[in-house]
Amino acid sequence: MKARIAVLVSGGGTNLQALIDAQSSVLKSGEIALVISNRSKAYALERAKNAGIETAVITKKMCGSQEEFERKLIETLEEKNIDLIVLAGFMTILSPLFTSRYPRRIINVHPSLIPSFCGEGFYGLKVHEAALEYGVKVTGATVHFVNEIPDGGEIIAQKAVYIKADDTAETLQKRVMEEAEWILLPESAEMVSKAIIEER
C-alpha cells in the first residue's frame, strides 16, 4: 500500500516532472494521486495529464478569499485520501490554519541552502539573484517540512551546488534544479512516504 501524494503547482512543473519520472525508480513508497494547481494555465497540468494523473484547479479568485481557497484545498485533499502534500513551485503561502492541519505531511523544495536566502519574498529567480549579489560561492537546494513560518520547517535534505564565475541568475537556477532540486525532491518524498506507511 503506497502513500498517496498530492503535488501542488503553479507553473511549468519541472519539479513535478522529476517526481513523475522518479515513480519508476526512487519513489517506490508513494504514488502521485493528484496534481492541484492554483493557475488554470499552468503547464504542470499538462505534464500531469500526460502521465495519466488526476488534476484539479483551485484559484483564490474562484474562491473569493484565502480562507475559502484553503477550505476547498482541504476538501479536495481529503476527498482523495491524500497522505502527503508536496509543494513544487506552488506560489501561494499557506496559512497556519492549513499547515497545522498536516504536521510533517507537507514538504517543500526551496532553491537555496536554508537558512540563506529564504523566507517571505524569496522565490524563483529572486533567490538566485540574491545569492549572486551576496557573492556566496556555494548555493543549492533544501527540502523541508512546511510549518507556519515560510521556509521555516524542519530540514529533510540539502544539496550543495557550486557557483561559477560567469553565472547569471538564469544559469544558476537551471543548475540548481538539475543538480539539486530534481534529485532531492523525489528522494525526500520517498523518505516521508516510507515513514507514513511504517506509521500505519
Q: Provide CB contacts within 8 A for 158, sequence distance 6+.
A: 113, 114, 140, 141, 142, 143, 184
Instruction: For residues 80 and 16, give the distance between their C-alpha atoms in angstroms, rounded to a whole number.
Output: 18
| CA-based torsion, 103, 191, 144, 65: positive or negative | negative
Residue 110 among the catalytic residues: yes
- Catalytic member of 110, 128, 144, 175: 110
Which contiguous run of DSSP H or E holds residue 75? helix 66-79
* 156, amino acid identity: I
Instruction: For residues 83 and 31, give the distance between their C-alpha atoms in angstroms, rounded to a whole number.
Output: 10
Instruction: For residues 47 and 1, give the distance between their C-alpha atoms in angstroms, rounded to a whole number.
Output: 25
Which contiguous run of DSSP H or E holds residue 12? none
Q: Which residues form the catalytic set?
A: 110
